[in-house]
Structure 1
Amino acid sequence: MNSRGRIHFFLALASASIIGVSAQAKLRILTENWPPISYEEKGAAKGMAVELVQAIQKDLGNKSSIEVVPWARGYKLLQTSPNTMLFTLIRNPEREKMFTMLGPVARGNTTVFSLTKPQRHFKDIEVMKAKATVAVTRGTAFESAARKEEYKNILDVRDTEMALRLLLAGRVDLICDDSLAIRDALTRLKIDHHEINSVKELAEYNLYLGFSPGTDATEITAWKKSLETLKKNGQFASIYKKWLGEMKPPSRVEVIYPLDKLQRAAKESSSLHSARN
């Protein structure tokens, strides 16, 4: 092989190495402090969804650590950093446009809560929406739900526990969150569950693993196949029961891909046509 041939050979070899490294870019895995789904205890990630993700990692030979970060930070990284996964995501139209979502991995509901014996009383729901202060975790689907319901005075806070503490201290009138997360926070804070009252359930939802734009499609496919295996062999159901008791686990597996502009336009047109009919 002449010198020119050797140069071409080594350039091709280097190029192949770079492509291989790129294709195997390490997936960064993030979650939030939202017990019992995910939380940090003594420096380690814990929770129902954490145990599920660890089972998938074991199946795939994935060695990435699970980082517990504030929701707002994790959500920002999911929007801006390729090869990032954040769990768990509530599926809604806004997120359908942005992320690839795998699941469902759990079910929940968005509910507005008050104290059983509130300091302030409102004669009806419309007055409550106009005058009550509602605490929500910053940047979450619960904040979006409260704004969609047209609550006028919304206070963004760090997490569910902070919202609950503010409610118990009488510094806010309401909180909007998931009923399971509220029950878990009450238990951890050793507060009688009867002190909190459900005002209105706004919506039921499914929770997903969220993958950022630019994440390798083969990586997502591998996670999907692993989740399917765990649901078929009963391991998913066992994890679900361990953390969530007798709540029925979701059985199906689906990948929700981001809708492009043409797909969104077609979907919105179809919805409008259905509404007219």
Structure 2
Amino acid sequence: MPATRCPALPFLLCALLLGQLLCCPRALAGGVHVMTEQYPPFSYQVDGEARGFCVELVQRILERLGLGESDIVFYPWARAYMKLKEEDGHVLFPMSRSVERDGLFRFVGPVFDDTLYFFRRKGSAVQVQGLADARRVGAIGVTRDDFYHQFLVEHGFANLDISVCQLHDFRKLAQGRVDLVPMGEKAMSGFMARQQGLDPAMFEKAGPAIYRSEVFIGFSGSTPDEVVESWQKALDELKEAGVYGAIMNRYFPPDTQPE
């Protein structure tokens, strides 16, 4: 005699599995493609291994979520940004927020904050007291689709020289091919320390601060709430446990920070 089938059984099993996933953000946190760019001191590679302030922080988050073996893949910024914008299941860091980006992506953080300045080649006569002055210089070096690029476009800048990375921007500045390059004050020394052929002494601020930004971890816009919330919870726990502060002090020692 054939066994009696229960039509409701597959449905109940599926419902049970779905319920377990919804109740377990760590399960949903899997399957994301974690991306970053070459942007020391936040993210860079040494002998093929990912290093940097934001890299260490994300690695600790992945460990708390039970995803310690997840790879962090390096891309040029514009390529990573496009993947985050057009594809599901992607994570990109470090990433500043803006009105435009808030409509496209999900965010966890903040993980860092910095004050934005225009930098000029040391000894240059270029002076900027604000955005209006900067619009009148010959050229400003920016990286395609990064926060500085988008910020300046939003503020009506047409004198932008666009490249693929910040290293190219500052090489152009050192060679006199552009007049200004924007960067965060805290990030500047750490960035220069790992760039062959560049030295912080080659550059100086061209005027007062123009913006203060907070840096986050960005997620594809379709990322489920449960995933974003699990990452945010893990980050908050790292801050409460003092892990975040310890990582911060290694890359940005308190006695080296600008007042």
Shorter-chain TM-score above 0.5: yes
- 5 Å-filtered alignment, 1:214-253, equals 214-246=222-254
Work out which of the residue numbers 49, 55, 62 in structure 1 matches 2:54. Answer: 49
Deviations 1:137-168 (A, max 9, x none): 11011012223444331011111111111111
- Aligned-partner Cα distance in 2 for 1:248–1:94: 33
> Post-superposition shift, 1:85?
1.1
Residue 35 in structure 1 maps to residue 40 in structure 2: yes
Paired letter, 1:80? E
Q: CA RMSD in A?
A: 3.0
Offset, 1:192: 4.1
Deviation at 1:77, TM superposition (A): 1.2
Q: 1:137 aligns with which of 134, 137, 143?
A: 143
In the superposition, the TM-score normalised over structure 2's length comes to 0.82
- The answer to whether structure 1 residue 185 and structure 2 residue 191 are counterparts is yes
* Alpha-carbon distance change, 236 to 45 in structure 1, aligned in 2, over 3 angstroms: same
Q: Which residue of 2 aligns with 1:5?
A: 5
Maintained 8 Å contact 1:160/1:181: no
How many percent of aligned residue pairs carry the same amino acid? 26
Structure 2: gaps (5+ residues): none
Letter matched to residue 135 of structure 1: G
What is the DSSP-based 3-state SS (H/G/I as helix, E as strand, rest coil) of the residue aligned with 1:112? strand
Aligned twin of 1:101: 107
Partner of 2:205: 198
Counterpart position of 1:64: 70
> Given that residues 106 and 206 in structure 1 are in contact (C-alpha distance below 8 angstroms), is that contact kept between their aligned partners in structure 2?
yes
The number of residues matched between the two structures is 247
Gap change, CA 1:121 and 1:242, over 3 Å in 2: closer
Task: Report the 3-state secondary structure (helix = DSSP H, G, I; strand = E; otherwise coil) of the residue aligned with 2:45.
Answer: strand
Report the alpha carbon displacement of residue 175 of structure 1 after superposing the two structures with TM: 1.0
Distance of aligned partners of 1:123 and 1:75 in 2 relative to their CA distance in 1, 3 Å threshold: closer
> Residues 83-98 of structure 1: matches in 2 within 5 Å?
83-98=89-104
- Between the aligned partners of 2:61 and 2:181, the Cα distance in structure 1 is 34
Shift of 1:186: 2.7
Structure number having the greater helix percentage: 1
Corresponding residue of 1:253: none
- Distance in 1, matches of 2:134 and 2:33, equals 42
Contact 1:48 1:243 in 2 (8 A): yes
Match in the other structure for 1:275? none
